[in-house]
Amino acid sequence: MIKFVRVDHRLLHGQVALSWFGATNANCILIANDSVPDDPIRKATIKMARPTGAKLVIMSIDKSVQQINSGIADKYDLMIVVETIHDAYRLLSGLKDKPAELNLGGTKATEETESLSTAINVTAADKDNIKKMTDMGVRVYIQQVPNSSSKTVSF
């Protein structure tokens, strides 16, 4: 069962590992990303951030969708972390059973982005993907840590 889905360009780090993992009552963290499975350095770094007692799975977005849709992940309470809003859209659009919410935790600022909050920066394509996910019935919101206030995002 999917308990929590988060966009965070840092993927797994202290804030996600300590704050969100405990707050979501997940027992498995899925890093859905197309480059990390083939990058031994990023993979090792992410493994070091794994909270004690958590199962950690790192796989491509397509494989993540396939595994979740097949039911093989049903035995876990999943916390899923993706790197970008586009990755979140790819993941959610492929899932048979969509999660109710998507947490925006951190996206990189570039010359092409506009700031929605101190940690969330979006492009025109990101806005389009957020609208598509909202149209799927997914509440997209910004919230850095579990005890801070959340802000729903829509376009």
Q: Which of 74, 65, 61 is nearest to 3 (CA)?
A: 74
Pairing status of strand 114-115 against strand 121-122: antiparallel
The CATH number given to whatever domain includes residue 107 is 3.40.35.10
Average pLDDT over residues 13-21: 84
Question: CA-CA distances (angstroms) from residue 103 to 41, 43, 48?
Answer: 26, 23, 23
Q: Which domain holds residue 20?
A: 2-153
Tally of structural domains, the chain = 1
Report the predicted TM-score, pTM, of the whole model to 2 decimal places. 0.96
Specify the 3-state DSSP secondary structure of 59: strand
Average pLDDT over residues 125-130: 98
Specify the 3-state DSSP secondary structure of 91: helix
Average pLDDT over residues 83-99: 98
Among this protein's residues, is 9 annotated catalytic? no
Whether residue 142 is predicted with pLDDT greater than 90 in this model: the reply is: yes
Tell me the average pLDDT of the chain: 95
* Active-site option among 13, 50, 63, 86: 13
Q: Please compute, for residue 92, the number of CA atoms within 13 A of its CA located in the half-sphere on the CB side.
A: 30
Q: How far apart are CA 41 and CA 46, in angstroms?
A: 9
pLDDT tier, 79 (very low <50, low <70, confident <90, very high otherwise): very high
